[in-house]
Structure 1
Amino acid sequence: MLNPHDIGRRTFLRDGSLVLAATAITPSLLIKNPSFADDSAKAVRVGMVTDLHYADKSPAGSRHYRESIGKLETASEQFARDQPDFLVELGDFIDAADSVEVEQRYLKTINKEFAAITDDRHYVLGNHCVDTLTKEEFLAGVEKEDSYYSFDRQGIHFIVLDSCFRSDGESYGRRNFQWTDANVSAEELEWLRGDLKSNPKPTVVFAHQRLDVSNYHGVKNNAEVRKAFEESGNVLAVFQGHSHQNDLKDIGGIHYCTLAAMVEGSGPESNGYSLMDIHPDGTIQIKGFVRQASYQWT
């Protein structure tokens, strides 16, 4: 018999449909649902991309920085057809540049494409977003004010987290950090607990650095963050990037879904993006495209 907590190691690619049953219904059951396109009238629909690392520079290893803009254009065509209610970019929107001026040009170039898709869009700060820029400069470049916040859509509560803080509480910015020292600050953690306590709605969280692993891709104090999620009893799922590979874990009855990086690999066959439907019964359904995997029990 399969252990539900082995879900991250027991999943495999199917046809682009991921259904995660809400914990109040069926804690860790994943089932294939082919009706994605036809069964979303009452759902909240979200477009998701992550780790574009856009930069006007030559490839390095498996990262093809310039190609992210074309990959995003392809994703935008799909989003235009499927009409998500809003978009989320899960961090590392840009890659590091040698100067603030060049970095701001990278940001302006890729954000012009992203912003053209919809006005309702959200950005999670990744470590590369604030390698050359400060948080204030990045947020100003994408016309946003806060690096962590929450909002509601159609009875669903959404939280955007910022894990770009050092262990001493200092914000990342201008190469003042080691990327392996990722933390949710004490102030943000206090805000998170209060936000969750005051919210009775089903909740979905967006993050960059991973909240489900203890290795160098993980947020150092992620156990405290997960405890806040679990104590609230309302968090259904967490979507994150950072490690560039598809992964899925179930911890404390909450699904932690890591999405594939858009920057990895060359050519249209190396793209990755997704659409999420959150249904009124709490079911979360993901349709992945190209390298973005889908899952079900083996």
Structure 2
Amino acid sequence: MNNVLAHTQPIPRRTLLQHGSLWLAASAPIAKAAFAVEKRSSEAVRIGLVTDLHHADKAPGGSRHYRDTTKKLAEAAKQFRSSSLDCLVELGDLIDAAKTVDTELGYLETINGQFREICKDRHYVLGNHCVDTLKKSEFLEGVGQERSYYSFDRKGIHFIVLDACFREDGVGYERKNFHWTDANIPPAELDWLRKDLKSNEHPVVVLAHQRLDVSDHHGVKNNAVVRDVLEQSGNVKAVFQGHSHQNALKQINGIHYCTLAAMVEGKGIANNGYSVMDVYPDGSIHLEGFMRQSSYDWNS
């Protein structure tokens, strides 16, 4: 039976919930991020995290304010630069859909032009909107990244970037050939994931777009299979994901599944959301959330 702890709504910042090895401190929304990230040990790896910017030059759609993401990213960049990041991660849907390839590439150049100035060491997770009009190869070339799924090490921590932008038949998303609810990790990527985890002895943090902890329309269809692979390794500490646009947290069989708030949601800088994460050699994690993003502490 899965041991699950779920948290979907922000709670007062001083509230602490202890559940086994989990300590959680979730911050209520605040007008602006006037506080600084705590000083970290030189042994910790520090990661800046953003998700679901959906940048596009178009009018708001419901709660999504596409043009505001350039201002929100500029605000987040100030905190990221003062935090001395080791690397910067974007968890998918950097851009929103466009009618033409040229328009989509224009969106990508605009927002990535800002993003690449923040930190030299950058990593991009593919989101469904990233390849709504573009091919994966076009998006990856646009951001200067070779692969859509891969792993990398920083200061003794192993990071895995996953790509769930595949249909159930194994065909990759591109040029409007998919429905966004049909997200899957294909057999070849699962085989790679097993081998990658087997060859690693360090604490592991997984970076994804579509959620691995739910079976609704925001979840990867074969999420249970993927979770089983992660659990068998014994080294995976946490999965960070986006896609559903709101703070959410589950603990399933010892792994924390943390869904981050979307930057695109809400008008203006006051509705921004981003975070700075410290991962320590023993696998402990401190996530400092800003604006609409909750904060968490997890002991190894």
TM-score by length of 1: 0.92
Amino acid at match of 2:38: A
The answer on 1:124 being equivalent to 2:125 is yes
The answer on 1:47 being equivalent to 2:48 is yes
**Number of aligned residue pairs:** 290
Instruction: Decide whether aligned partners of structure 1 residues 77 and 36 sit closer, same or farther in structure 2, where only a CA change above 3 A counts.
Output: closer
- Matches of 2:70 and 2:16, distance apart in 1: 26
CA shift, 1:281, in A, is 2.5
> 2:144 is matched with which residue?
143
CA shift, 1:279, in A, is 1.4
1:154-233 map, 5 Å: 154-233=155-234
- Work out whether residues 9 and 247 of structure 2, in 8 Å CA contact, stay in contact via their aligned partners in 1: no
CA shift, 1:296, in A, is 7.3
Q: 2:22 aligns with which of 16, 20, 28?
A: 28
CA shift, 1:36, in A, is 5.2
Instruction: Decide whether aligned partners of structure 1 residues 180 and 42 sit closer, same or farther in structure 2, where only a CA change above 3 A counts.
Output: same
- Matches of 1:20 and 1:199, distance apart in 2: 29
Amino acid at match of 2:4: H
- Work out whether residues 285 and 297 of structure 2, in 8 Å CA contact, stay in contact via their aligned partners in 1: no
- Work out whether residues 46 and 86 of structure 2, in 8 Å CA contact, stay in contact via their aligned partners in 1: yes
Q: Which runs of 5+ in 1 are unaligned?
A: none
> 1:245 is matched with which residue?
246
**CA deviations over 1:74-125 (Å, ceiling 9, x no partner):** 0000001001100000000000011000000000000000000111000000
- Matches of 1:137 and 1:68, distance apart in 2: 22
**CA deviations over 1:119-142 (Å, ceiling 9, x no partner):** 100000000000000000000000
CA shift, 1:4, in A, is 6.7
- Matches of 1:18 and 1:4, distance apart in 2: 19
- Work out whether residues 18 and 295 of structure 1, in 8 Å CA contact, stay in contact via their aligned partners in 2: no
- Matches of 2:53 and 2:275, distance apart in 1: 14
Instruction: Decide whether aligned partners of structure 1 residues 267 and 28 sit closer, same or farther in structure 2, where only a CA change above 3 A counts.
Output: same
1:70-109 map, 5 Å: 70-109=71-110
1:107-118 map, 5 Å: 107-118=108-119
- Matches of 1:236 and 1:121, distance apart in 2: 21
- Matches of 1:140 and 1:157, distance apart in 2: 24
> 2:292 is matched with which residue?
291
**CA deviations over 1:44-68 (Å, ceiling 9, x no partner):** 0000000000000110100000100
**CA deviations over 1:129-180 (Å, ceiling 9, x no partner):** 0000000000000011100000000000000000000000000000000000
Percent of counterpart pairs with the same letter? Answer: 62
CA shift, 1:19, in A, is 10
- Matches of 2:108 and 2:18, distance apart in 1: 34
> 1:6 is matched with which residue?
5
Q: Which runs of 5+ in 2 are unaligned?
A: 27-34
CA shift, 1:40, in A, is 3.2
CA RMSD, 1 decimal: 2.4
User: 4+ runs of 1 displaced by more than 4 Å?
Assistant: 17-21
CA shift, 1:13, in A, is 4.2
